[in-house]
Amino acid sequence: MSSAFEPSLSTSRPPLGGPSIADTLPNINFGFDELRDRMAKFTARFDAFIEQGRKRVLEERNQFRMNVAELQEDQRMKKKDIEILQLKTNTYQQTMAKEAAETREMQSAIAELTAQRDRQAAARDALKEQIAATQREIDARLAAQRAHQAQLEAQARFNVPELDFWVTNLCMRIEGAGVEDRLKFVYTHVDEKNWEREAWFELCTGGRDYDVRHCRPKLERDKVERVLERVNETRELVTLLKGMRELFVEAMRP
């Protein structure tokens, strides 16, 4: 009993030359190596956790930036679509306004054409009436001309031999001029280069003196007046016929 409470031999001073007290202590294992290994593993897991968290934060931040960029792009595209739609709307409104203006112009043009048609119809009717009146006047003049021609033919019966002589010798024919008191004398063989070419003049017999109103080709009026003076003095028609032929021949010489 007394040995349990008595100081042990390990607490007593060891004898010189024997084992040390540390050697005599019991071997206690506190697990420092295991703790160090566990701490290292924890540190590695913690670092991995931190790295994963950092990567996740970076990924989320990048994803957020991508989402923001996509939203901005979507907003830009929608804004562009809105601008395109606005442009199309403006173009459509301009087209509608232009078509409305063209419609008004067409209606105005139709109204103008309708009025023009009515005016032309009225002018046509007036022209028809004028043509009918002119035709009646022409018929009356033709009747008068035929009567005058018949009178001339009746008078010419007495001078047929002499007239035939000059018609043949002067290469000439006599026609009606279409107007009362006028005769047309047509010459051929006056142009040395073209015997078929014709020259003519119209003689007015309605007045006291003979007068030449028209001729082709044109002749100098002074020369024609001189011929008329001789004819009106002598009252011989042959003088006029020969004098006018000489003037035509002279006018057609090159």
Q: What is the DSSP letter of 26?
A: -
* Sheet with 182-187: strands ordered across: 172-176, 182-187, 199-204, 211-216
The span from the CA of 236 to the CA of 227, in Å, is: 11
C-beta of residue 150 within 8 angstroms of C-beta of residue 180: no
Q: What is the per-residue pLDDT for 161? A: 67
Q: What is the DSSP letter of 8?
A: P
Radius of gyration from C-alpha coordinates of the chain: 70
199-204 and 182-187: which strand pairing? Answer: antiparallel
Q: What is the DSSP letter of 218?
A: -
The span from the CA of 83 to the CA of 97, in Å, is: 21
Angle at 45 between CA 42 and CA 47, to 5 degrees: 105
What is the chain's pLDDT, residue by residue, as a tens digit (254 residues)?
444 444 444 444 555 555 666 566 666 666 678 888 888 888 988 888 898 888 889 888 899 989 999 899 989 999 999 999 999 999 999 999 999 999 999 999 999 999 999 999 999 999 999 999 999 989 888 887 777 566 555 445 445 566 678 788 888 888 887 777 788 899 988 888 888 889 999 988 877 788 898 888 888 999 999 999 988 888 888 888 889 899 898 888 86
Residue 199 CB contacts under 8 Å (≥ 6 apart), including other chains: 186, 187, 190, 191, 215, 216, 217, 248, 251, 252
Q: Of 214, 210, 209, give the one whose Cα is nearest residue 199.
A: 214
CB atoms within 10 A of CB 96: 10
Question: Rounded to two decimals, what is the model's pTM?
Answer: 0.37
State whether the Cα torsion 139-144-145-151 is positive or negative: positive
Containing 215, the helix (H) or strand (E) segment is strand 211-216
The span from the CA of 170 to the CA of 187, in Å, is: 7
CB atoms within 10 A of CB 215: 20
Q: Of 252, 218, 224, give the one whose Cα is nearest residue 239.
A: 224
C-beta of residue 248 within 8 angstroms of C-beta of residue 199: yes
